[in-house]
Copies of this chain bind each other. A is one copy, B any other.
Amino acid sequence: MNRDAYAHVARIGKAISSGNRLELLELLAQAEQSVDSLSRLSGMGVTTVSAHLQVLKGAGLVRTRRDGTRIHYRLAGPEVAGLFVAMKNMAARVLPGLSAIDGEKDSGSGRDDSVPLIRTIEEIREAYMLDVRPAHEYQAGHYPGAASIPLDGLASRIGEVPRDRRVIVYCRGEFCLLARDAARLMRGQGIDAYAMDEGVLEWRASGDVDLTATA
């Protein structure tokens, strides 16, 4: 028969059947990244990351570019982000009780209830959009008009955030906690801050938002 056909498609499935690899894909959806940059961002060992990247590459989901001594990985295309989101949606639809994000929002330690989530893009008008991802990721593509203050430096740069407007913070995507942490920090300082429930991963997947890059 054509047994191979299924096995062949299953390779894509295998590539996305590991939580660690999904985390790497989410990072790659932000910007191209070198192996050790991914290692630092994810906390996995370098050789572990390399091994996972080989699997992703073998399945055709990522491409590489050599720049001197280091190798930069990137998504093979926006459809890969699309597949991630499709799986995320499927998980939410089909295992609602266990929804990872709900778990994070509701059950968890409960402290996240203090950060209201913005769910529609309409609410963005007139608000101050703030990107709290690392500068490198901001440069590779960000929401049009958004400002950049990486979470690292937010405490010391808090003065740059306007106090007379609503502030909406976003980060890598629904699973990323940077925006929520940032919003919590700002609320503690009396700023009217909200965390966006989606981020660059979802925008890249949908293609609806044109993510401006900086030179």
Residues of chain A at the chain B interface (Cβ within 8 Å)? 1-23, 26, 59-61, 76-77, 79-80, 82-84, 86-91, 93-95, 98-101, 103-104, 175, 177
Contact = CB atoms under 8 A, between A and B. Distances in A.
A60 B94 contact: yes
Contacts of A95: 8, 11, 59-60
Contact of A20 (B6, B77, B100, B104): B6
Contacts of A103: 4-5
A13 B11 contact: no
A23 B3 CA distance: 9
B8 A91 contact: yes
A213 B19 CA distance: 40
A12 to B, nearest CB: 5
The binding surface of chain A is classed by DSSP as helix
B5 A175 contact: yes
Contact of A87 (B13, B23, B91): B13
Nearest to A24: B6
A182 to B, nearest CB: 15
Contact of A100 (B5, B77, B93): B5
7 contacts: A6-B20, A6-B26, A8-B99, A11-B91, A12-B87, A13-B22, A17-B17
Given A8-B95, A13-B15, A79-B90, 13 more contacts: A2-B100, A4-B100, A6-B100, A9-B100, A11-B91, A12-B94, A13-B16, A13-B87, A59-B94, A59-B95, A61-B94, A80-B90, A83-B87
Contacts of A5: 100-101, 103-104, 175
A183 to B, nearest CB: 16
A93 B79 CA distance: 10
A9 B5 CA distance: 24
Nearest to A95: B60
A17 B22 contact: no
Contacts of A79: 89-90, 93-94
